[in-house]
Structure 1
Amino acid sequence: MTCEQPTLSTPTLRLRRSRDRGYEDFGWTDNWMTFSFGGYYDPDWVRFGPLRVMVENHIQPRSGFPAHPHRDVEVLTYVASGTLSHQDSFGHRAAIAAGDMQLISAGSRGMVHAEQNHHNEVEHNYQMWLIPDRPNTEFAYHQKGFTPAERQGRLCLYVSPDGDAGSMPINTDARIYAGLFVSSDRAHHALAAGRGAWVQVVRGQVQVAGLSLATGDGVGIADFADLDLAFTADSEVLLFDVRLNVPVLWQ
């Protein structure tokens, strides 16, 4: 059975300050949770369209997540610094470096994977889960990266429903971007009717929709035709363009 989430009502901005996120410290990693996840639950912060989980991780050297399962979820990992090693039950082994994004469609039959930091410096990543908008999906593995020069001063498309412009295909209506910017840079993103944008500041400072965001801050935006981002420091951002009333398989 699918569940519908209505379009966001007024106000159309949902500000999530870094300090207000859920937090867990396991010693070998700390997790900052934008939405309810694991042992952290806030009924006001469950999801934004199909974007169900957003966790910022700092994984200590020579440690990581042991093998664990996923099913009926699109698992997206963006590495901000360091290198994350991946191994899954379908035989994939990969190293995800800074600026790389990995997309795993876990599929309806599920999969098992492990994520490890085999290096001597802390690895910093954002992991997101998006809920598929259809049942009976198949497992798929994708990985995509842009060089710092390619990401500089623009929003690079990493993920889309149809694999547009060489992006990774995902089983829900989401287009996902990342970019690097310097102080005084600007970026523009057109937002169609019925869609929302989540802007997450990986590092830096940005002004958007009349708000000033800093490292770790995020905001959900609806009912804006055009987004203008003005950067006031060297910055790295993620932008999720999602259909807000998308049907989802689970909450």
Structure 2
Amino acid sequence: MENTVLHKAATRGRANHGWLNSYHTFSFANYQNPERVHFGALRVLNDDTVAAGMGFGTHPHDNMEIISIPLEGDLEHKDSMGNTAVIRKGDIQIMSAGTGISHSEYNKNKDKLTKFLQIWVFPNKRNVTPRYDQITLNEADRHNKLQQVLSPNADDEGVWINQDAWFHMGKFDEGFATEYNFKKKGNGVYAFVLKGDITIGNIALNERDGLGIWDTDAIKITANSQDAEVLLMEVPMAL
């Protein structure tokens, strides 16, 4: 029988720094919850809103796969490898921190907020050479289907990371139903509802709710509202 863990949106940790309003699904910074440290290899799921003209100063990371998915507005990225880039809604960005990297992220717009997800996944290889990549996705390709946005394979759809992980995004009409088949035995899926109302199995989820599922090989997803959007993150459960 499948196992599940449900994290309702209102139960997440929150840090409001004025310039940054961040909701933490898992323990992060000052939010420490021993029952919410990680879901398998998924270590961090932060739902961030950055005020106009503000951002994260240069700070270091190592031995983590760091994925950024803009949901609204755009974010300027600079890093110690010499990359300068702007990511916008429809893009996905990956940094393999490996032996060590430092970067900054800023909302350069003076008149609008930036909203983005920052996701950390434990790598399956330590001390790799740091790497940066970003791609622009065709959001039409997720209308009433699951669009792969991340995998372990450089020649597959989406970006790739150093882990047996697959991410998919979907945007569904009300009443649309689909099935997601797990890619690898021993993996779990963490579903995060970006917008609207969705049922997974027999569990009803609302905007920004999260549901982890493991010990199964497929899940059924049904949209209960128009333009319901979901992010599925399949990750190994064993570290």
Runs of 4+ in 1 over 2 A off after TM superposition: 163-167
Equivalence for 2:211 = 219
Kindly indicate whether the alpha-carbon contact (under 8 Å) linking 1:144 and 1:158 is maintained by their aligned counterparts in 2: no
**One-letter code of the match for 1:232?**
N
Secondary structure of the structure 2 residue equivalent to 1:187 = strand
Helix, strand or coil: the match of 2:125?
A: coil
- SS in structure 2 at match of 1:19: helix
Choose which of 188, 199, 202 in structure 2 pairs with 1:210: 202
Paired position in structure 1 for 2:35: 44
Distance in 2, Cα, partners of 1:11 & 1:197 = 11
- The residue aligned with 1:111 is 101
**Which of these residues, 66, 74, 79, is aligned with residue 65 of structure 2?**
74
Residue 177 of structure 2 is matched in structure 1 by 186
TM-fit CA distance, 1:76:
0.4
1:238 maps to 2:226:
no
CA distance, structure 2, for counterparts of residue 11 and residue 230 of structure 1: 18
Matched, 1:149 2:149: no
Structure 1, unaligned runs of 5 or more: 1-9
* Conservation of the 8 A alpha-carbon contact between 2:175 and 2:222: yes
What is the TM-score when the length of structure 2 is the normalising length? 0.94
Q: How many residues align?
A: 236
- C-alpha separation in 1, matches of 2:127 and 2:180: 32
Superposed CA offset, 1:127-176 (max 9, x none): 00111112221111111222231222221111111225233221111111
Contact 2:69–2:91 (CA<8 Å) still a contact in 1?
yes
CA distance in 2, matches of 1:43, 1:11: 23
Choose which of 198, 201, 206 in structure 1 pairs with 2:190.
198
Structure 2: gaps spanning 5 or more residues? none
Pairwise CA distance, 1:183: 1.3
CA–CA separation in structure 2 for the residues paired with 1:240 and 1:151: 15
RMSD over equivalenced CA pairs, Å: 1.4
TM-score (norm 1): 0.90
Q: Could you list the per-position Cα deviations for residues 17-74 of structure 1 after superposition, in whole angstroms to 9, with x for gaps in the alignment?
A: 0000001100011110000000010000010111101100011111111111111111
CA distance in 2, matches of 1:104, 1:162: 15
* % identity of equivalent residues: 32
